[in-house]
Amino acid sequence: MVWLTRFKELPLALRVLFLASFVNRAGMFVFPLLAVYLVRGKDLGPGEAGLLLSIGSTGLLVGSLLSGPLCDLRGRRAALLTALVLNAAGYLGLAVLDGAPWTYAVLLFVALVGMGMFSPASNTLVADLTTPEQRPFAYTISYVGNNLGMGVGPLLGGVAAAYSYHVMFAGNILAGLLCAAMITLWVPRDRRSPNAESRKGKGRSGPLGHRHVLLVVLVSFFYVVPLIGLEYALPLAVTTVLHDSAGLVGAVYTINSVVVVSLGLLMEKHIRGYGTKALLLVAGLLWTLGLAVIVFGFSLPAILLSTVVWTLGEIIVSVVVPTYIADHVDERRVGGFMALNGFVLGLARLVVPFGLGVLWSAHGHRPVFVTLLLAPLAGMAAFVLLRIRPSASAVPPSTSAPEPRAAPASN
């Protein structure tokens, strides 16, 4: 298989990182079941559990913001290891401590700071260890592996929780520590890439020196809004509006994971050679078409069909945005911009469900889905106006990529 050959050409450190990321995602037994654990395991009320989860989830934002400075000050590997240790420590406290409700919010905050730090640091390391031609493929592999792990994790977590909540937490913690061991052994300490000096001279120092990158990351918020909004709205729509079984909600996420895993690598092959602006506009169009199916044909079959369509847009954005950051930001600031990209996702997780909840309570489900439909349209309009530079990775599919840089030796 061509993709396997390309995978073997990546540095060993990245292949280990992708495997560790999959294990880490697959081992995230706790996160999807936190509300259940707080209600049944800690005897909290549903409202109280929801409040604690909202407070604790601010850790995702803090972790995203801390990831960039930590990558710059202590290195990418140090940031990855810190993320895993914080996540394990927070969940260990949740598993063994029996205190006041506010202590659960603090421990969850610690765990989610670690979760928020991991992805930006991982994306920064990918940028360090790949050539421009390898980056879209590397980010696609990372995204596919994470989604595969997220598909396996809740299933394993449900089985573990049915046996014992302590088993559930132990599995999560052990998976994180296994990843930390793999990264310690095979991911080297940082080094400057061969072209670092040339990249240092690009643009002015600071975020405004890369204003076009900053704007691309910020505008991508309009493509994140429907993703997070659907996480909130679809379960409610299926169970309270269509009056179908909650089990059918799982079908939506299964379809999403199947599309990502089965079509992610195929799409990466075909989007090579196209400019960043064109790809972002296509992603917005796919999001718009998928949401239009729900708005104008609201039914369970429409929801399932729309999932296939908008997932294609999700794949494109998830590959194109980090690739654009890696291609156009000087090496000293890649970590900060990857952290900003993670912050955009974390911010959406905080504000979108609350805003849609207020809208749903006041006007019902239809305005919620219309709002989600308008978000990618706004994003497309903004991307049309933005000046987006050509990406170094935009080469014709028939063009052979140069030899990858050799992975650095561990210090």
Per-residue pLDDT, 119: 93
Least confident of 218-222, 249-253, 281-285: 249-253
For residues 44-57, average pLDDT: 78
Angle between helices 101-129 and 300-328 (to 10 degrees): 60
Q: What pTM was computed for the model?
A: 0.84
Percent of the chain with pLDDT over 90: 47
Nearest-angstrom CA–CA distance, 160 and 222: 36
The predicted-structure confidence for 337-389, as pLDDT tens digits, reads as follows 999 999 998 888 888 888 888 898 889 899 999 999 999 999 999 999 998 88
* Triad 237, 241, 245: Cα angle to 5°: 75
Residue 155 pLDDT more than 50? Answer: yes
The predicted-structure confidence for 266-278, as pLDDT tens digits, reads as follows 898 888 878 999 9
pLDDT higher for 295 or 148? 295
Angle between helices 211-219 and 365-385 (to 10 degrees): 160
Closest CA relative to residue 289, chosen from 186, 181, 373, 397: 373
Residue in this structure with the two tokens 């909004």, named with its chain if needed? 229
| Mean pLDDT for the chain overall | 85
Nearest-angstrom CA–CA distance, 241 and 122: 40
DSSP 213-246: HHHHHHHTHHHHHHHHHHHHHHHHIIIIIS---T
Per-residue pLDDT, 168: 86
Residue 223 pLDDT more than 80? Answer: yes
